[in-house]
Amino acid sequence: MMKKVELVFVPASGFSHLVPTIEFAKRLIHQDDRFSITILIMKHLLEPNSITYLPSIAATEPCIKLIDLPQADPPSPELSKYPETYFCTSIDNYKPHVKRVVAELVDQSLSNSSSVRIAGLVLDFFTAPMVEVGDEFGIPSYLFITTSAAFLGLMLYLLARHDDRVDAELEDSGPEWAIPSLVNPVPIEVLPTPLFTKEDGYAATMKLVKRFKDVKGIIVNTFMEMESYALNSFLDGETPPVYPVGPVVSLTSGAHLSPNGVPYKHIMTWLDDQPASSVVFLSFGSMGSLSEPQVREIAFGLLNGNFRFLWSLRVPQQKEKEKRLGPNDNMEDFLPEGFLERTSGHGIICEWIPQVEVLAHKAIGGFVSHCGWNSILESLWFGIPIVTWPLFAEQQLNAFKLVKELGLAVEMKLEYRNGDHLVLQDEVEKAIRCVMEGNSDVRRRVKEMGESSRKAVIDGGSSYTSLGLLIEDMVGNV
């Protein structure tokens, strides 16, 4: 009889972590039908779009079971002055609930009537300390990194640096770093901001990264053709086996995620009427919003360049307490006077836009992006070149790699951080004009990398083969 195996996923609660985790789970069961998967959901920490997204998974994937964990105890109020530590502690406090569910699943798998055995836990960057739960039950753990191999390399470099030095916290200025997973020396200003707060972000990150060496394998949402240099840097004998399985992207319709009042059909119909590769798409991620002065500079840049545009505009930072925006509600308050009238028919602004469908549309010619890893992979998949506008987390590092290492993006800013300074309208216009050029080297390279990304995940491709090796390892655990 064929051996049935179960995996228990413990993802972080953020939408940008949850979606690729579930897409990876779907890919596993589609490539090998011996698998069933249980995903433990920290429902009380979820963002609103995650709550909307999850029911569709339960309805369409019978081999994936979602279990909502009870709410964990909140961290002590004193920790609120340390936001990174507070967030990591909020997740860590779910450990007793995870342990209880794993214990129940182990009991079920050991019952006489069950032919299913638990092959492993699949953890996230932020849930890496849950490796202790797996160890307690003799279950191997794997780590799923939802960002780049270069970022994984940065974390491992930080760990080695920390272990070698007593006083290892970062200074926010100084010489560039030679990180083994990146070709070029890395400027300090493109490293994630939380690493520069010794008692908070740096300490919290080190607590997570120290568990990386305790897992049986590290799964990365990337592919060899894009990050061969970084992936080869892990063949040092000290890092657990690394399995590139990407790009893991969700290509299904996001129409069901549309908030009330967002004209999904209107957006797609308008795009249908635009010439091929004529529209620039601007989006700064599910968490990204800009200051009111910055929004105005972008608007003037679009106006001066006479660009066709589709702009996913979050409420500017000063106005976050306002209600959610509808298609045009309240926008006049922070856009240049007369902007909506002057661009009527030439562009669309709304708070939410179906990103995958938009990037797939023939009318899109360029993408002004915050450089979140999911957005990068989606953009490459559809051959759309990026203008880099990173805001936070590892986005500056992603932008640096795209521009300086891979030549897959046009540089707007690499070191930009929320509210640090203003990008002026002429800079906006120049970068967008550059990315919209029809025959540029960047566009050609992006098209080639997009073809490589699609080949990587089909039978015989590099990521398909890597996933097969991972499956062999997992099944071997039982």
Concatenated DSSP letters of 257-316: GPPTT--HHHHHHHHHTSPTT-EEEEE--TT----HHHHHHHHHHHHHHT-EEEEE-PPP
Residue 327: pLDDT over 60: no
| Phi, psi angle pair for 23, to nearest 5° | -65, -35
Indicate the range of 197-201, 300-304, 445-449 predicted with least confidence.
197-201
Query: Predicted confidence band at 3 (pLDDT cuts at 50, 70, 90)?
Result: confident
Looking at the structure, tell me whether residues 148 and 231 fall in a common domain.
yes
The CA distance from 411 to 227, in Å, is 20
Query: Do 237 and 348 share a domain, yes or no?
Result: no
Cross-strand bridge partners of residue 294: none
Please check the confidence at residue 59 and state whether its pLDDT lies above 50.
yes
Q: Is residue 468 part of a domain?
A: yes
User: Is there a single domain that holds both residue 158 and residue 202?
Assistant: yes
Whole-number percent of the chain with pLDDT over 90: 70
CA 247 and chain centroid, separation: 11
Residue 231 lies in a domain: yes
Q: Is 31 in contact with 37 (CB distance < 8 Å)?
A: no
pLDDT of 362 above 50: yes
Q: Which DSSP state fits 202?
A: I
Let me know: does 126 contact 21? Beta carbons within 8 Å.
no
Together in a domain, 316 and 236: no
Residues 358-385 have a mean pLDDT of 97
Q: What is the pLDDT of residues 279-326, one digit of tens each?
A: 999 999 877 778 889 999 999 999 999 999 999 987 665 544 443 444
Taking the C-alpha atoms of residue 450 and residue 246, their distance in angstroms, rounded to an integer, is 12
Percent with pLDDT over 70 in the chain: 90
Residues 359 and 417 grouped into a single domain: yes
Pair 126, 196 in one domain: yes
Residue range(s) defining the domain that contains residue 142 = 4-246+458-476
Residue 343 has pLDDT above 80, yes or no: yes
186 with 38, same domain? yes
SS (HEC) of 348-365: EEECCCCHHHHHHCCCEE
State the CATH number of the domain containing residue 81: 3.40.50.2000
pLDDT at 259: 59
- The pLDDT, as a whole number, for residue 298 is 95
CB 119, CB 477: distance < 8 Å: yes
Q: What is the pLDDT of residues 404-416, one digit of tens each?
A: 999 999 998 766 6
Query: Is 277 found in the same domain as 220?
Result: no
Run of H or E residues at 15: helix 15-31
Q: Please give the single-letter amino acid code of residue 116.
A: V
Number of domains in the chain: 2
> What is the reported pLDDT for 288?
74
- State the pTM of this model: 0.94
252 lies in a domain? no
User: Are residues 109 and 16 part of one domain?
Assistant: yes
Of 216, 219, 212, which is closest to residue 157 (Cα–Cα)? 212
Give the pairing type, strands 364-369 and 386-388. parallel
87 part of a folded domain: yes
In this predicted structure, what is the pLDDT of residue 260?
53
197-211 mean pLDDT = 94
- Confidence band for 264, pLDDT divided at 50, 70 and 90: confident
Clarify whether residues 277 and 172 are in a common domain. Answer: no
Q: Please compute the mean of the pLDDT values over residues 258-264 and round it to a whole number.
A: 62
pLDDT of residue 440: 87
On whether residue 14 sits in a domain, the answer given is yes
Burial class (CB in 10 A: 0-12, 13-18, 19+), 201: buried
Looking at per-residue pLDDT, the higher value among 166 and 19 belongs to 19
Residues 6+ apart with CB under 8 A from 220: 144, 145, 148, 149, 152, 231, 242, 243, 244, 245, 246
How buried is residue 6: exposed, middle or buried, by Cβ count under 10 Å (0-12/13-18/19+)?
buried
DSSP state of 177: B
User: Which residue from 258, 214, 43, 56 is spatially nearest to 120, judged by alpha carbons?
Assistant: 214
Domain-located, residue 254: no
Q: What would the pLDDT profile of 205-222 be if each residue is shown by its tens digit? A: 999 999 999 999 999 999
User: For the sheet containing 35-41, what is the strand order?
Assistant: 64-68, 35-41, 4-10, 116-124, 141-145, 217-220, 242-244
pLDDT value for 321: 45
- pLDDT score of 1 more than 50: no
119 occurs within a structural domain: yes
Q: Are residues 273 and 317 in the same domain?
A: yes
Q: Token digits for 224? A: 């060899």
* One domain, residues 179 and 242: yes
Return d(Cα 421, Cα 423) in angstroms, integer: 7
Q: Please report the pLDDT score of residue 116 as a whole number.
A: 82
CA distance 146 to 218: 11
Assigned domain for 251 exists: no
Q: How confident is the model at residue 420 (pLDDT cuts 50, 70, 90)?
A: low
